Amino acid sequence: MAFLRTEPPTVNFATGAPGKPVHLTVQTVGAIGFGPHPDWVSYLVQSPAGKWVHSTLWDLPANTMIDVTLYEYDGGSPLRNPEIGRVYGVTGNEETINGKKVSLIDATQGNGVGHTFSVPTLGINVPLYAVNGNAKNFCNASPCGLSEAHNTITFSFRTPKATGQYAFQCFVPCGLGWLYGNGGPMQTIGYMDGFLKVVSS
Ligand SMILES: [Cu+2]
């Protein structure tokens, strides 16, 4: 039960002027490096004050453009289902990866896909191109910094008008060492699962 009580803090991005786009900066890492599960893959989010926070609970204003910058620091693999290599539900159905527009990642090529940012109820899927797991400057403990191997991924989406909690998750079985890779961090809020908590703006 202690495990269930340790919900991460909600980070509030809904304090700006109504209608003004919100900038959200997140990172995905191969190992969080601290806490009860230091070797688990995870998301972190940068608070409006600029501090990296280990949380996947984000208050976002309703009906607002969210401009996401995501630093991907983890290695990857081919996908079991190539469909999740497709970008959809975000502006233009594309992301930029290191400045290049991409609408589909063929995960059999290059470093493969590390994680996805997927919000099933909003029809959003953004595959996150991985870094080379053998890179000399591979990040082994978060928060990772820009001098460490990463891909800079950007995309934008509009939050719905309806307030509520919209679950997001990763669809890459990245829970290394768990049954089919789907346990542990893949099912734990704060790591590879979270909520967009859409509140009135
Ligand atoms: Cu993942």
DSSP string spanning the chain?
A: -HHHH-PPPEEE---S-TT--EEEEEEEES---SSS-TTS-EEEEE-TTS-EE---EEEEETT-EEEEEEEE-S--B--SSGGGGB-BSSGGG-EEETTEEESB--TTSTT-EEEEEEEGGGTEEEEEEPPPTT-TT---SSSP-TTSS-EEEEEEEEPPSS-EEEEEE--S---TTSGGG-SGGGGSBTTTEEEEEEE--
Give the pLDDT band of residue 1 (cuts 50, 70, 90).
Answer: very low
- 5 pLDDT exceeds 70? no
Query: b/e for 31-41, b at 16 or more Cβ within 10 A?
Result: bbbeeeeeebb
CA 191 to chain centre: 9
pLDDT band, residue 6 (cuts 50/70/90): low
What six digits make up the tokens of 128?
């996150």
pLDDT of residue 157: 98
| Global pTM value | 0.94
- Minimum mean pLDDT range among 5-14, 110-119, 120-129, 152-161: 5-14
Residue 176 has pLDDT above 80, yes or no: no
Rounded distance from Cα 40 to ligand 1 centre (Å) = 10
Ligand 1 centroid–CA 150 distance in Å is 15
Q: How far is the CA of 19 from the centre of ligand 1 (A)?
A: 31
CA of 191 to the centre of ligand 1 (A): 8
Confidence of residue 179 (pLDDT cuts 50, 70, 90): low
Phi, psi of 11 (to 5 degrees): -100, 130
Tell me the CA–centroid distance for residue 37 and ligand 1, in Å.
15
Average pLDDT, the chain: 93
The pLDDT assigned to 182 comes to 74
The rounded distance, in Å, linking the Cα atoms of 43 and 40 is: 10
